[in-house]
Every structure is written in structure tokens, then in C-alpha cells.
């Protein structure tokens, strides 16, 4: 696994996990919790972005809900709601990396984020959280655009 090969997150060893943390086998919940623990302990060294598998519709089809059902048969509803209504919607969909000289920036966005970004992820209880944090007028991903762009100096 990555931490055995490259070492755990630390002040000098940073990681960016670009979505799809769940639905990757029968220990996806434990991996997610491990990443959250590292994020708690080394907040500057662990960065997590949201992919399409951190979306309730995808989780239903690819196994993470089944994993939760097998591990929490009595508490599934509470665990499901915590993850899909509270946790996943708060994970950012993009990250901006900058070189040490602060001259170049690279945007990192998972290729499978939900296309319609304006939907609410709430449970109808008045405590809705936007599906993603929107900046300006961004409400939809244009999948026909070029996926890599060189930023002009000063951007």
C-alpha cells in the first residue's frame, strides 16, 4: 500500500487523494477512516478531494453501501446519513497545487464528479448542504473542455 512504499503522511511527505476512496474493496470504510485520522493528525500533509464514488448514487451501485450494511446492520441508516449528508458533501471537489517557488499552479479535479453541481445533498430536514461548494456561477461541469490547461504566469 502507498504508506508502506512511500511512508506515512508527515511534514515532509504530503499526499493528495483524488477521489474514489470508497468502493475499492471490502475495507473501504477502514481506509477512509485511516485517511481522516491522518488528516486530523497531519492536516497540512493529507488532502482529499471528492470523486464520483463519494456520491450517494454511485455508492449504491458499486458496493460501499453493501459494505456498510455488513458492518453496521443495526445502525446502517445513521452511518449512511452521516456519510452521504454530512461527510461527503463537505469534501472539496478540486485542489490547486503550487510549486515551491509559487510560480506555477495546477488544478486537480477528479474526472467523475457529478455533472450537475447545483443539487442539494440534504435529507429534506432543513439542514441541506450543497453537493459541492460553488464558486461564482459554476453549476455544471463541461466535459467537452480540454482536461489540461497551462495557467498563465500570475494566475
Q: Which residues are catalytic?
A: 53
- Residues near 9 by Cβ (< 8 Å), separated by ≥ 6? 3, 15, 38, 41, 42, 45, 46
- Residues near 50 by Cβ (< 8 Å), separated by ≥ 6? 19, 88, 91, 92, 93, 110, 113, 132
123: its cell numbers: 435529507
46 within 8 A of 13, measured Cβ to Cβ? no
Using the CB atoms, write b or e for 73-93: b if 16+ within 10 Å.
Answer: eeeeeebbeebbbeebbebeb
Amino acid at each position: 500500500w502507498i504508506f508502506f512504499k512511500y511512508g506515512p503522511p508527515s511534514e515532509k511527505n504530503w499526499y493528495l487523494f483524488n477521489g474514489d476512496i470508497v468502493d475499492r474493496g471490502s475495507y473501504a470504510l477502514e481506509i477512509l477512516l485511516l485517511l481522516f485520522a491522518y488528516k486530523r493528525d497531519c492536516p497540512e500533509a493529507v488532502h482529499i478531494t471528492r470523486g464520483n464514488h463519494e456520491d450517494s448514487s454511485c455508492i449504491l451501485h458499486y458496493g460501499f453501501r453493501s459494505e456498510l450494511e455488513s458492518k453496521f446492520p443495526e445502525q446502517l441508516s445513521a452511518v449512511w446519513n452521516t456519510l452521504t449528508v454530512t461527510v461527503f458533501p463537505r469534501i472539496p471537489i478540486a485542489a490547486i497545487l503550487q510549486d515551491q517557488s509559487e510560480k506555477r499552479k495546477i488544478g486537480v479535479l477528479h474526472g467523475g464528479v457529478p455533472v450537475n453541481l447545483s443539487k442539494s445533498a440534504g435529507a429534506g430536514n432543513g439542514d441541506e448542504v450543497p453537493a459541492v461548494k460553488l464558486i461564482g456561477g459554476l453549476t455544471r461541469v463541461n466535459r467537452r473542455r480540454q482536461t489540461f490547461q497551462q495557467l498563465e504566469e500570475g494566475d
